[in-house]
Structure 1
Amino acid sequence: MSYRKQRETKETAIDIRMDLNDNQASSINTGVGFLDHMLTLFSFHSGINLQINVQGDTEVDDHHTTEDIGIVLGQLLLEAIKDKQSFTRYGAFYIPMDETLARVVTDISGRPYLSFNAEFSKEKVGTFDTELVEEFFRGLVINARLTTHIDLIRGGNTHHEIEAIFKAFARSLKIALSDDGSKGVPSSKGVIE
């Protein structure tokens, strides 16, 4: 099923289409090259097709664009989760990238919480501020109502550190969203809100 959201503020104009069942190549144009790269990797490793077009105030910096994309992706994921008939709920994944090791654990809990434990080796990758990685994930996790723990266990190369986190998140989400064959809500409470 396909989901689409358009969001316009004084800082960004975002148009995202997301499809959980479409393995076509994603098209991602955020105006922030490094973020395009990370979202392309996220799409590939999660199996979620993304069509993203953004006009942002990148002449100021990349903050609004990065955070707002996280917010909209989270809102779209929440819609998709509500429509799913069956899902595993929990997912965990480790990604090694040469010297770097990242772990992400995700629970589709309905209780938004982000634990972000990553100290990056450098403040920038190219022109991209590394502190924006946490802002992106906070926007996504809170709006999708996920509980997510992101841990950079070992680092070295900043590009590898961030890439490992995006890939580990994608893989943990793919597991959590996967159909476990059971019907109904995967909670002893009978509801995930």
Structure 2
Amino acid sequence: MRKSTITRETRETFVEVTLDLDGNGSYDIATGVGFLDHMLEQLSRHSLMDLRVRAKGDIHIDDHHTTEDVGLAIGQAVSEALGVRKGIYRYGSALIPMDEALCRVALDFSNRPYLVWDVRFTRPTVGRMDTELFREWFQAFSQTAGLTLHVSSLYGENNHHIVEASFKALARALRQAWTVDERAADSVPSTKGALHSKGIQPLAS
């Protein structure tokens, strides 16, 4: 049962995440940041992860702390749900078009967090959300999930399409990577013999 519930509380935010990696893509998202809610719904639906998120943050200042801490909490919950990562395919990739935009994600549940972000925007906001915050979300998520994560926008003009294709590509790559390989269900996919999540701690914002 690959499920997890995480609570993250700071002076800036309170975040509660419950997820099931082997769900059917149902979601219940309320972060106070409308466009982030929309992207997390895409993440759930296209990864088939059941996801419930509740967040309260200092959005009267801006959306930064809430966006980052939601990423940290979801990443931590994914890592906890995976446990020692036995039997998973480990690697995943996806190339996702959305109208004129094309985005690529490649990832590795290596437990060596690293983000390569090659995504360019032409506007400072999408809806009311600062475009620079999308990198912050992906960085936070990769850190606590223990992911080596490469995200690239190959081309595109509409910033909404670029962001949404990036989240959908992440979702499909995650779904591929955390699926259990029946031929190797009892072994950890590493010559080291370990990919456990020990040592990955949520970052303070």
Shift of 1:8: 1.1
Query: May I ask how many residue pairs the two structures share in their alignment?
Result: 193
Aligned to 1:52: 53
Matched, 1:23 2:43: no
Question: SS of 1:35's equivalent?
Answer: helix
Which whole-Å CA distance do the structure 1 matches of 2:144 and 2:23 have between them? Answer: 23
Shift of 1:84: 4.4
Which whole-Å CA distance do the structure 1 matches of 2:82 and 2:23 have between them? Answer: 16
Shift of 1:22: 2.3
Matched, 1:187 2:194: no
Cα pair distance change 1:36/1:16, threshold 3 Å: same
Which whole-Å CA distance do the structure 1 matches of 2:23 and 2:88 have between them? Answer: 18
Q: Please give the TM-score of this superposition, normalised by the length of structure 2.
A: 0.91
Question: SS of 2:169's equivalent?
Answer: helix
Which whole-Å CA distance do the structure 2 matches of 1:123 and 1:83 have between them? Answer: 40
Which whole-Å CA distance do the structure 1 matches of 2:66 and 2:111 have between them? Answer: 25
* Residue range with higher mean Cα deviation, 74-83 or 102-111: 74-83
**CA offsets per residue over residues 41-65 of structure 1, 9 Å max, x none?**
0000111111111111111111000
Which whole-Å CA distance do the structure 1 matches of 2:49 and 2:177 have between them? Answer: 13
Cα pair distance change 1:41/1:24, threshold 3 Å: closer
Q: Please give the TM-score of this superposition, normalised by the length of structure 1.
A: 0.97
Shift of 1:189: 1.7
AA in 1 matched with 2:61: V
Stretches of 4+ aligned residues off by more than 4 angstroms? none
- C-alpha RMSD over aligned residues: 1.1
**CA offsets per residue over residues 122-157 of structure 1, 9 Å max, x none?**
110111001000000100101111101000100110
Aligned to 1:139: 140
